[in-house]
Amino acid sequence: MRDVPAWVESLRGLILVVVWIVVILRLPAVRRPGQRPAWIVLLCLALGSVAIQAGIAEWIDATTGVPQLSDLVVALVALTDFAAVWWFALHLRRDTQPGPARWAPLLAAATMAVLAVLFFLITPEADRFGAQARGWWIGYAVAWIAYGVTTALAAALIFWRTARSVRSPLVRYSMVALTVGVGAELPYLVIRAIRWFVPDAPAGLVLAGFWCSFTRFVVIALACSVAALEPAVRALVYRARRQRLAGLWTLLRAATPELVLHEPASRTADLLAPGNSWELLHQRVVEIRDSITLLHDGWATPDLLADAAAGRRLVAIACWLEVTRRSALAGLPRTAQEPGHDLLPDVRATTATMRREVSQLVRLHREITSRTVRDFADHHSGLSVGPPTR
């Protein structure tokens, strides 16, 4: 374990710092069931980053008086880490995985832990954790390689399938990163097998194996952190979309004050409004739809809609909407005519359609403020209420 240049110990220290920073920053995830599995993986990585430090190994061996016990501790922490990553992968696919399959990482880790302790006890000190596997230690080497390949392949396959099926770009990138991080374990295991079973293996394999291990530590830690941050990023996206609708919402609510349940807040207060981000966005879209419907049913006429329909659909909606907005602001009486509903915008406000609908409403606001729509409204209303603001 220690047959590497001195600078490698510095990089092991870097692993320790990076992983523990991520663990501490993501500590709030412990309280969130959806984010807790990723944090558990981070914790296992963090414990592993402690175990591989040279000072810790020397302390364990000196305190216990058992030669190479520190290497056994590293092996036990590592196999726990391998199982945790596999368990995390299965957790992501829990809806499609049968119940017994989710116990596989625990059973595999427990079996490997028992074998590791057993081979440590029956193998002579000179043969334990050596560069070459000899005697009883051959059994340990075979079991370790088989366990590592099984956990790595199982986890990487699930991460890759998940990356191909999720819609969120952030989650997709984190799943791809996890696939790469777990995949880095496979060349490490190949290198470890060559060093164990091939006499006079090239010395450069030691460093190659270290870089594979380094890549696995750092990439998995960062990928789990990104996956844990996904809900927060999604919440920010919902708030950003809500702010994109603030202009249109303010414009329409001013013309339909009877629908206003509370005084409009400042842009800063609106941005920082407490509550679930998705629900706040959904509420804004629904309020815009309600205002549009009220203006349509209250002041639109068949003739107005017919004249507006000469242009593109979105422009047509903007034309009659601006005329009815001006009429409402001027306090004109509502019309008793039935205008029909052909030129009402489609607003479903579901999770799957929200991005498209927000873009549609933003474009609608842009059309309302355009010269084409203002000229149409000037011609049909004859009212001077000032141009709508952006």
Q: What digits encode the pLDDT tens for the residues 328-339?
A: 999 898 887 777
Q: What digits encode the pLDDT tens for the residues 227-281?
A: 666 677 788 888 889 999 989 998 999 899 888 776 666 667 677 677 888 888 9
Query: Is residue 241 a contact partner of residue 358, using CB atoms and an 8 Å limit?
Result: yes
Q: Structure tokens of 140?
A: 């340990």
Query: Is residue 221 a contact partner of residue 184, using CB atoms and an 8 Å limit?
Result: no
CA pair distance 143, 148, nearest whole angstrom: 9
Q: What is the enclosing helix (H) or strand (E) of 56? A: helix 54-64
Q: Compute the CA torsion angle 29, 30, 33, 36 (nearest 10 deg).
A: 80
Q: What digits encode the pLDDT tens for the residues 49-104?
A: 888 887 888 899 889 888 889 999 999 999 999 999 999 888 887 655 555 567 88
Q: Structure tokens of 310?
A: 């000469």
CA pair distance 111, 328, nearest whole angstrom: 75
Measured in whole angstroms, the distance separating CA 337 from the mean position of its chain's CA atoms is 50
Q: Which domains does the chain have, with CATH numbers?
A: 6-231 (1.20.1070), 245-381 (no CATH)
Q: What is the enclosing helix (H) or strand (E) of 162? A: helix 137-165
**pLDDT recorded at residue 327:** 92
Measured in whole angstroms, the distance separating CA 242 from the mean position of its chain's CA atoms is 20
DSSP at 341? S
DSSP at 4? S
CA pair distance 377, 166, nearest whole angstrom: 45
Q: How confident is the model at residue 36 (pLDDT cuts 50, 70, 90)?
A: confident
Phi first, then psi: give them for residue 173, nearest 5 degrees: -65, -40
Q: How confident is the model at residue 384 (pLDDT cuts 50, 70, 90)?
A: very low
Query: Is residue 223 a contact partner of residue 185, using CB atoms and an 8 Å limit?
Result: no
**What average pLDDT does the segment 108-129 reach?**
93
Q: Structure tokens of 159?
A: 């991460």
Query: Is residue 328 a contact partner of residue 298, using CB atoms and an 8 Å limit?
Result: yes
**pLDDT recorded at residue 122:** 94
